Amino acid sequence: MVYKILAIFKDRKFTVDTLWLVSSQGILIISGFLVNLIIGYQFGASTLGVFNQVLGFYLILSTFFSLGINNCLVQKISTGVEQDFPLIFSSNFAITTVSSLFFSGVVLMVSNYLPGVFSSPDLAKGLFIGTLSLPFFNWNKNFMALATGIRNQKLFSNIRSFRWLIIIGFVGMVTLVSDDPIWLYYSFLIAEVTLFVFCFAKFSNLLTFNFSFNEVKSNLSFGLKSFFAEAFSILNDKLDLIIIGYLISSTDVGVYSFLIFFAKSLYIFPGTLQQNINPLIGKHWVSNTMDELSKTLKDIRNVNFVVVLVQATSILIFYKLLISFYKPEFAGSWSYLALSMVGIIPFALISWGGSILVMTAKLKENILRTLILLVFTILTTFIFTSLLGFQGSIWAVVVNGIFAFLLLFGFVKRETGIRLV
């Protein structure tokens, strides 16, 4: 087993890239933990619930505004030739600019003039501020997709790390100088504008107004085909916070978001692997060298299995100690964390394969998979939470995780022959 686990590290570049991605994920975990810890301690569970709802809306909207262009960039850059990169990137950047500015304007008007659409006035105010940074966020996602496509995972990792370091720094500063939580939401804007300036300076040579409308049409076509699956996936990940916000108190939402942050951190290492293997999957599929890919994926399964189980054990121990010294609102939530992991662990063992269908051009199949999961998630979250309240929201996580495991395993095996377990 040890030999199999170490086999994946024979490829030096893969090893270095993975270490960079793991490091950035470590920063993401720590920063996310500190953000939740600081806000929960300084402003209480209610404000934490609203903050995480805003973050959920923020990530969902950014995915919808991107129209799948990031997946297109990764696929075309990883399989293309360098002299075509300016044309590919500029065409995608143009699409992102038009869609992000238009849709951000719509959300700003809705949150400002129709705040009753949201579950609370505080949520509407926070989302209005957060939306100001969405165009910059999506532009930065284009730059990060470019870095992934050229397999510069060090740059990708640094951009993601800087984002969260800026956010946690700003959140910490706010808690020192103000008791008004509204200032927390400006952390997104500060982070994205800073990163945009950095990325624009680094990749300005790839931006040109001489982009091809045929390329725009081609990229948009590919992007939209993968867009729905990506949108459904982010909805599956974040929509639970939005739904339960209408069904239980803000304090319960805060406790839920706090413990579910720890539970879903099990997806972070598989996400790191997915980020690193996406270009490899696309390359091997196009080159029809699937035997070589299968050997690599076998090693990845072994590594992921060990890491997920060790991480789950560590989280349960750490969380038990943490809430012993934390605010009374979070006391008694350990058992709910343990219960949620019953569903999250199985899916974490194979979630690294979530983009295999996209990278192998099985776009329709991936849309169907994620749509089925989305409908199932919406129904179970709404029904369980409506009937059982806070406890029901946890049972929904369990059921949804197991169903997601079965669905992804079945679709990938049937459409590509790749075994995820």
Cα distance between residue 219 and residue 138, in whole Å: 16
Contact 195, 137 (CB under 8 A): no
Query: What's the pLDDT at 129?
Result: 95
Query: What's the pLDDT at 290?
Result: 67
Asked if residue 182 has pLDDT above 80, the reply is yes
Asked if residue 6 has pLDDT above 50, the reply is no
Using pLDDT thresholds of 50, 70 and 90, give the confidence band for residue 299. confident
Mean pLDDT of 53-75: 83
Query: What's the pLDDT at 75?
Result: 72
Which range (152-156, 208-212, 271-275, 310-314) has the least confidence?
208-212
Query: What's the pLDDT at 112?
Result: 92
| Residue scoring higher pLDDT (225 or 159) | 159
Query: What's the pLDDT at 389?
Result: 95
Using pLDDT thresholds of 50, 70 and 90, give the confidence band for residue 3. very low
Query: What's the pLDDT at 282?
Result: 65
- DSSP line for 149-207: HTT-HHHHHHHHHHHHHHHHHHHHHHHHH-S-GGGGGHHHHHHHHHHHHHHHHHHGGG-
Contact 327, 39 (CB under 8 A): no
Mention every residue, 6+ apart, whose C-beta is less than 8 A from residue 413.
Answer: 419, 420
| Tens digits of residue pLDDT in 325-346 | 888 889 889 999 999 999 999 9
| Tens digits of residue pLDDT in 81-135 | 667 777 777 778 888 888 899 999 999 999 999 999 998 899 999 999 999 999 9
Asked if residue 197 has pLDDT above 70, the reply is yes
Q: Looking at beta carbons, which pairs linking 324-331 to residues 24 or more positions away fall under 8 Å?
A: 326/37, 326/40, 326/41, 327/40, 327/41, 327/44, 327/45, 329/40, 329/44, 329/45, 329/251, 329/254, 329/255, 330/40, 330/45, 330/255, 330/258, 330/259
- Share the mean pLDDT of the chain: 85
Mean pLDDT of 262-287: 76
Query: What's the pLDDT at 35?
Result: 92
| Residue scoring higher pLDDT (381 or 301) | 381
- Closest alpha carbon to 233 in 17, 39, 10, 71: 71
Using pLDDT thresholds of 50, 70 and 90, give the confidence band for residue 372. very high
Query: What's the pLDDT at 205?
Result: 78
| Residue scoring higher pLDDT (94 or 210) | 94
Contact 272, 18 (CB under 8 A): yes
pTM, rounded to two decimals: 0.79
Asked if residue 214 has pLDDT above 80, the reply is no
Cα distance between residue 154 and residue 141, in whole Å: 15
Which range (59-73, 140-154, 224-238) has the least confidence?
224-238
